[in-house]
Amino acid sequence: MKRDFTKLLDISRDEVTYLLERAKYLKDIRTRGIEHRPLKGKNIAMIFEKASTRTRVSFEVGIHDLGGNAVIMNANETQLGRGEPIRDTARVLSRYVDAIMIRTYEQDVVEGLAKWASIPIINGLTDLYHPCQILSDLYTIAEFKEGFDNLKIVYIGDGNNVANSWIEASILFNLNLSMAIPQNYRPLDMLLEKAKENKKFMITDDPYEAVHNADVINTDVWVSMGQEKEMEERKLAFASYKIDDDLLKNAKSDVMIMHCLPAYRNQEITDSVFERYQNNIFTQAENRLHLQKALLEWLLT
């Protein structure tokens, strides 16, 4: 039976736990130079409607590591960019390749591919969800903190795709998750309603309240791709949501700072805080590679 990964809640808590453990194994054998090529002979298409550094390189290197072949497609250079129906693109590519990873704007595009393709579909990012990022973030927290079940995890900033996927993680694992997000930039209502069934979930517009006794603090850019026209309005709305030394006084002394990158220094995070926690942040970026290899292996073998 084919499986898709269009959002975190497509898979179960046990399956996420397996992927995190498998990523740890794959990271270890890569470090030791042990060859592991379960995707030999398989082709994976990667469709990009949005620019990418980490998603493209981590997936392409991961596919190569696993013995597969990556087929890179920029949407504006394909029939998809000229208006070909999703159902046709899905059915055509299903005849050529073994899986599709897509980074696009609309979640409906990913779900349309999943509906019509006979091969696994992976959401590399949409405006609503960023599930590969959050899988990697959970793995990174577990790596640094030896687990995440008993930690207070905080997200500060825009109620965007990253925030929505963090809420999905909180639903799956009953996480102690606090979010500080301005009223007009809240995550999806349907997710908030479900998350509030967990008494440990909290959302506020006060970042100081959210970070009290925090073990982990996450943030993201204030202006995502496609929102450039809102830049000045957003800078004003998020001005008090910057991660700086004053805010961190309210967190635990061994707090872990995360950022899914790219980071805009002295906007959502000060330069000094970023540099102090850069090892966390760049390990978080590296772990996209190991986690996505685990995901590809799980979906294709």
Q: Which residues are catalytic?
A: 103, 130, 133, 220, 260, 288
Residues 162 and 133: beta-carbon distance below 8 Å = yes
Show the tokens assigned to 221: 């850019």
Q: What angle do CA 220, 292, 9 make, to 5 degrees?
A: 70
Centre a 10 Å sphere on the Cβ of residue 250 and count the other Cβ atoms it contains: 17
Q: How far apart (Å, rounded) are the C-alpha atoms in residues 20 and 290?
A: 9
Collapsed DSSP state (helix, strand, coil) of residue 257: strand
Phi, psi angle pair for 62, to nearest 5°: -60, -45
- Find the helix packing angle between 13-31 and 161-173, rounded to 10°: 110
Which run of H or E residues covers position 41? none
Show the tokens assigned to 203: 């959302």
Name the residue with tokens 């957003």: 234
Q: How far apart (Å, rounded) are the C-alpha atoms in residues 107 and 128?
A: 6
